[in-house]
Amino acid sequence: MTTHAHLSPRAAVLVWAFLVSATLGSAWLAEHHAFAGSLTAVFVMLVAFCKGFAIMRYFMELRGAPLNWRLAFGIWGVAATALIIGLWVWTARGG
């Protein structure tokens, strides 16, 4: 049993502000490819992972869920990001 309180409206708005900033930031990065160069795709997917993690942890309130649920969703996030980045890198290196 955990003692986490519900996410307060104020904290929810802060998480939303992060999600909006990260979305605009990664789109800007993708449209200005020269900034991060060939690693742009990696950065963009890492930002997606952070956004997904924030949604799972705060919006879905998994931070207060039993360990097995936190693990299941956490593994999904890591696996989805790692597979997309891994296959992108493999392709970029001439796979």
Partner 1 sequence: MNDVAQAQGSESAAPIIRSGQVPGVLVFIIADMIVFCMLFVGFMTERMGQTALFDQSAATLDVRMGVFNTLILVTSGLCVVLAVHAAHAGRREATRRWLLVSFLIGAGFGVTKLLEYSAKIELGITMHTNDFYMFYYALTGAHFLHFIGGMIALAVLWFMVGREPLDGRLAGLVESGALYWHMVDLLWIFIFPMLYLLGPR
Rounded to 5 degrees, φ, ψ at 50 are -60, -40
User: Of these, 9, 35, 36, 39, which contacts partner 1 (CB under 8 A)?
Assistant: 9
Q: Does 26 bind partner 1 (CB under 8 A)?
A: yes
- Cα distances from 90 to residues 7, 42, 83, in angstroms, run 40, 12, 10
CA distance 18 to 20: 5
Q: Does 35 bind partner 1 (CB under 8 A)?
A: no
Q: Does 25 bind partner 1 (CB under 8 A)?
A: no
What residue ranges bind partner 1 (CB under 8 A)?
1-2, 4, 6-9, 12-13, 15-16, 19-20, 23-24, 26-27, 30-31, 33, 40-41, 44-45, 47-48, 51-52, 55-56, 58-62, 64-66, 69, 72-73, 76, 79-81, 83-84, 87-88, 90-91, 95
